[in-house]
Amino acid sequence: MVYFYVGPQDIYQPIFEQRETTEVVLPSGGILQVETLSADEVRVVSLMSTDPMDFLDPRYAPGNIISRKLFIVGK
């Protein structure tokens, strides 16, 4: 018979792997959580929105790399 137990490393590993994220407010009111990759690129971590069209937009899919230029509001 084989017994499996969760050791401390298995429990706390996901906590230590968390990265610093930033929240970006979308025009629809939704919130994107992104992590910075470089000065002009971010990776989408998660999307929180009540607008179903935000979830259908492929730019906001988790894991997608997008340019910060999308977030700059022109004058």
34 within some domain: yes
Domain count of the fold of the chain: 1
pLDDT at res. 14:
57
Backbone torsions φ then ψ of 23, nearest 5 degrees = -100, 135
The closest of 49, 52, 18, 48 to 33, measured between CA atoms, is 48
Mean pLDDT along residues 39-46: 90
Residues 7-35: tens digit of each pLDDT: 666 555 555 556 688 898 898 999 999 99
Going by pLDDT thresholds of 50, 70 and 90, the confidence category of residue 40 is: confident
pTM check: above 0.75: no
Q: Answer whether residue 46 is part of any domain.
A: yes
Structural domain for 41, as ranges: 20-71
Q: Is residue 39 in a domain?
A: yes
Percentage with pLDDT > 90 across the chain: 39
Q: Look at residue 45 and tell me if it is in a domain.
A: yes
Q: Is residue 8 in some structural domain?
A: no
Q: Tell me, what's the pLDDT at 73?
A: 56
Q: How far apart are CA 64 and CA 9, in angstroms?
A: 29
Q: Is residue 49 part of a domain?
A: yes
